[in-house]
Amino acid sequence: MIRPLRTRHRRTVAALWIVVPALLAWALLSRPPQPRMDDLPAWRGEATPAGHPRRVAGTPFELDGVRAEAAVFSRGVERHLRLRLLERSVAPDLLAYWTAGAGKDGGDGLPADATLLGRVPGTREIVWRLPADGGSIVLYSLAHQRRVASGALPTGSAGESRGGEPRGGEES
Amino acid sequence: MAVSYKAVGWNRQKRIYDGVVLAGVLSYLGLFVGSGIVLDAQATLETLLIRGLGTCAFLLLTIILSIGPLARLDDRFLPLLYNRRHLGVTMSVVALAHGVLSLVQFHAFGDLNPLVSVLVSPGRWEGVAGFPFQPLGLAALVILLLMAATSHDFWLANLTAPTWKRLHMLVYVAWALLVLHVALGALYGERHPALVAVLAVAVAWVLLVHGAGALRERRLDPDSVPGARDFVRVCPVDAIPENRARIVSLSGERVALFRYDGKVSAISNVCQHQNGPLGEGCVLDGLVTCPWHGYQYRPHDGTSPPPYAEKVPTFRVRIVDGVVEVHPRPLPAGTPVEPARIPGHPPTEATP
């Protein structure tokens, strides 16, 4: 007869009442925050003198592994990287990471402290805010699980102010 | 009912049911993909199909899981229960299409076997954050396909209803796995609060209707007369509607007392087909008719009319001072029992 089956069903439902909401809440609350670039300043022609970005001395700089235009700009304590690949990379899903070190740590993989900046949009120009002054940039192929290019970011005071301001689209 | 093996026992109701389900699935996919093309220029057709099939399967599973308790709570949902099996198979096929497309899209072009690739996909197994969601979906799909493969009276008869039921209760495991599959997969990247709200509402809905159904079932199982050895007074005969039943729980099992043609008979409440609640059915053409799939039994001996061969246990019954009394010990399935005649009602023609 099926009374034991009904009892088992009731117990299953009771267990689901506890387990599923708890796991669902845990899964949703455990999601790491997504880095967003929504708060990048609108720099296209409306920069004010006070908030004007300035090119950091030592830029443009080069990446080893890929031909690219790369420059670092400062605005106050903020540092921004403008990047445009000059050749189309054969690696799909190319991601840009910032690391505080020289960018050579981690072998062909990513350094342990790598911070995701965003996706490299082909040969389109892109601007990211950097977590800190200095450090390095690493371009990493998610599909191939290997480093494609890297380069040390220039550090120091701002140099020239106009003509080199970031123009690129803002990643969000 | 069928006396011989048939792949599908088609009838008009099943054709209408399946037609509505198929039209619903195709309409949903068309709307999902069409609106995706308009609203998300970055999404490819394969991606939209994967998402559309996945959400469609989860929606169907939510509906399927709701039908059982809703039918227990309100008779108007019984028509949905009638062909739930086809709805389940449809859901499994949609989920399989989602799985196969995902496998092709994300795992088919590497050096590894795609199924191995799913199981070794990057992720952190030691915690919830970053837990690989695809193996969860694969495990749920295996359960759903196993259920779909055994969704036939052939398996029901060979496995026996209790075993078959136990097997199909794995749907709750599959559901829990799929909730996590969605939370750790799609909602890991898509952070819009509306998507989280939709999943939370779906989960809450399934849990609420099952909770309400379980509470109702528990009220039907009082342990008031456990282990009784003699006739048990059950209810006044007037408390049983004509051609309907009253369900009582005796010695741990449910008994359906049917009143018909000036008589009262007692048979097991459990249909031999899928353990449907016979006492929630009615007497049609002199036969007790299960509300789930229409299986029929003669009330006086619990036997299906020829050429069918299903049998359920019967119980001795009598009426004393206008009160129905039932002996709690079940008789072997198909044992004829003289119905109790209701005083004041003239005898009618012979029992069918």
Report the distance separating Cα B333 and Cα B124, nearest Å: 55
Instruction: Tell me what pLDDT residue B4 has.
Output: 61
Report the distance separating Cα A29 and Cα B82, nearest Å: 40
**Angle between helical axes of B45-73 and B193-219 (0-180°, round to 10):** 20
On chain A, the residues whose CB falls within 8 A of the CB of B128 are: 23, 26-27, 30
Which burial class, exposed, middle or buried, applies to B156 when counting CB atoms under 10 A from its CB (0-12, 13-18, 19+)?
buried
Is the ipTM of this structure higher than 0.85? no
Q: Which residue has the higher pLDDT, A35 or A125?
A: A125
Report the distance separating Cα B155 and Cα B344, nearest Å: 47
pLDDT, tens digit (0-9, with 9 covering 90-100), for A131-167: 888 889 999 988 888 888 888 888 766 554 444 444 4
On chain B, the residues whose CB falls within 8 A of the CB of A28 are: 183, 187, 196
Question: How far, in whole angstroms, is CA A99 from its chain's centroid?
Answer: 11
CA distance B276 to chain A (A): 10
Do the chains contact at B176 and A27, CB–CB below 8 Å?
no
Instruction: Tell me what pLDDT residue B347 has.
Output: 59
Report the distance separating Cα A80 and Cα A61, nearest Å: 14
Give pLDDT < 70 ranges for chain B: 1-8, 221-228, 251, 346-352
Architecture of domain A54-170: Sandwich (2.60)
Closest by CA to B258, choosing from B286, B231, B279, B234, is: B279
Instruction: Tell me what pLDDT residue B288 has.
Output: 93
Which of residues 292 through 321 in chain B touch A, CB cutoff 8 A?
A: none
CA distance B160 to chain A (A): 11
On chain B, the residues whose CB falls within 8 A of the CB of A141 are: none
Interface test mutation site (partner A, options B66, B131, B180, B273, max chain A beta carbons within 10 A): B180
Name the helix (H) or strand (E) containing B52.
helix B45-73
pLDDT, tens digit (0-9, with 9 covering 90-100), for A66-125: 888 888 888 777 888 888 888 877 677 889 999 988 767 767 888 888 899 988 888 888
Q: Domains of chain A: which residue ranges?
A: 1-31, 54-170
Instruction: Tell me what pLDDT residue B266 has.
Output: 94
Q: Compute the C-alpha angle A118/A121/A127, nearest 5°.
A: 60
Instruction: Tell me what pLDDT residue A18 has.
Output: 94
Name the helix (H) or strand (E) containing B154.
helix B153-159
pLDDT, tens digit (0-9, with 9 covering 90-100), for B203-260: 999 999 999 988 887 777 665 455 567 888 889 999 999 999 988 888 677 899 999 9
CA distance B183 to chain A (A): 6
